[in-house]
Amino acid sequence: MARTALALAAAGMLASGVAACDGGGDGGGGVGRVGVILPDTKSSARWATADPRYLRAAFAEAGVAADIQNAQGDKSQFQTIADGMISSGVRVLMIVNLDSGTGKAVLDKAKKAGIATIDYDRLTLSGGADYYVSFDNVAVGKLQGEGLVRCLAAKRYAKPVVAELNGSPTDNNSTLFKQGYDSVLQPRFDSGDFVKGPDQSVPEWDNAQAGTMFEQMLTQHRDIRGVLAANDGIANAAIGVLRKYRLNGEVMVTGQDATVQGLRNILAGDQCMTVYKDIEQEAAVATSLAVALARGQRPTTAADVVTDPETGRNVPAILLTPKAVTRDTIPEVIAEGFVTEQELCTAEYAAACAAAGLG
């Protein structure tokens, strides 16, 4: 885990100039446990694979005990897990909320118990977390919008109809992604270069619902030529519908998360791009922050600030940089160690991999 070690060392700069906090437990010099609650395993494959793997490795490397659990999309279970962690005496609680209401209730309980809090990947609106670690999610959306523009230009479509399948309306990241890609697409709608098609949000990032919604879109607008799909799971649902109507590869589809399925869809020519977010780096930076807090230290050099749109509060934040991925740059994602050729190049995709110089 050399990359984890390097990322942890770099992230350790965040704890420079720390001041010891007063409080009980382990005292100023001891190390407390960290609780981490992940949201589900359905909205994105990352929550079942990348994040738990990288977080466990980073905490193990730091020598700090971490209790990492997944709420499996159940709000009651999310609260039950949090209650257990709080009562067990964790020093830091790091969460990926299912929605801001549930997240705020958990963060309020943690703060009342004197536990430091971190919003991981998703900001909890009105939640009051001490820190926020994520990517620049407006930039993620811009990369998606710019990618779709390039893909449509390559097809030489005149005045293409573009549909939007946004993420969950209860996830603040969805709002930020849409802000990013609409900043690219709206001027083209206004100029008449593109035609605005259906624009809907997918509840709870549910891929099955996304497929149903997109099939309804397509039956009503058979001239759709571009789909701004908010992540790879939603993209794959739309691609499934396009295959049914033999339109895959003709309708340009974006994605996000650089999942194995998303990258395979790109290799097959059914998806035009995705966005790679270095989750190992995100996990390492969040771990470094949590470790400092667990040791009774207060990081003072978080470089970014995010304003909670509901309360106006400025939240100290660390925002990482995403990267667009196309067929030509998939080898870079492999080189990062995020996926392997073996994962991508199964028998079904062997020809597509060979054409891309993989496998």
Query: Based on the structure, what is the number of domains in the chain?
Result: 2
Residues 197 and 338 in one domain: yes
Q: Based on DSSP, count helices (H) and strands (E) in the chain, helices before strands.
A: 13, 15
Residues 315 and 332 in one domain: no
The kind and range of the H/E element at 210 are helix 207-220
Are 188 and 149 in contact by the 8 Å Cβ rule? The answer is yes
Q: Which residue has the tokens 């479509």?
A: 157
Instruction: Give the DSSP letter string of 47-60.
Output: GTTHHHHHHHHHHH
Are 197 and 221 in contact by the 8 Å Cβ rule? The answer is yes
Task: Name the phi and psi angles at 250, rounded to 5.
Answer: -95, -35
The kind and range of the H/E element at 175 are helix 172-191
- Pick from 184, 346, 348: nearest CA to 273: 184
Residues 210 and 299 in one domain: no
Q: Which residue has the tokens 């490795």?
A: 57
- Pick from 153, 140, 97: nearest CA to 120: 97
Bridge partners for 307 per DSSP:
314
Are 124 and 163 in contact by the 8 Å Cβ rule? The answer is no
Residues 96 and 230 in one domain: no
Residues 335 and 203 in one domain: yes
- Pick from 75, 138, 92, 71: nearest CA to 297: 92
Residues 287 and 146 in one domain: no
Residues 33 and 119 in one domain: yes
Residues 118 and 151 in one domain: no
Per-residue pLDDT of the chain (359 residues; tens, 9 = 90+): 445 444 444 444 343 333 223 333 343 345 789 999 999 998 888 999 999 999 999 999 999 999 999 999 999 999 999 999 999 999 999 999 999 999 999 999 999 999 999 999 999 999 999 999 999 999 999 999 999 999 999 999 999 999 999 999 999 999 999 999 999 999 999 999 999 999 999 999 999 999 999 999 999 999 999 999 999 999 999 999 999 999 999 999 999 999 999 999 999 999 999 999 999 999 999 999 999 999 988 886 578 999 999 999 999 999 999 999 999 999 999 999 999 999 999 999 999 999 999 97
CATH assignment at residue 150: 3.40.50.2300
Residues 308 and 335 in one domain: no
- Pick from 119, 109, 94: nearest CA to 36: 94
Are 144 and 273 in contact by the 8 Å Cβ rule? The answer is yes
Q: What is the pTM of this model?
A: 0.89
Residues 272 and 184 in one domain: yes
Residues 250 and 328 in one domain: yes
Residues 69 and 148 in one domain: no
DSSP state of 251: B
351 Cβ neighbours under 8 A, 6+ residues apart: none
Q: Which residue has the tokens 């523009």?
A: 149
Q: What range does the domain containing 249 cover?
A: 137-276+324-355
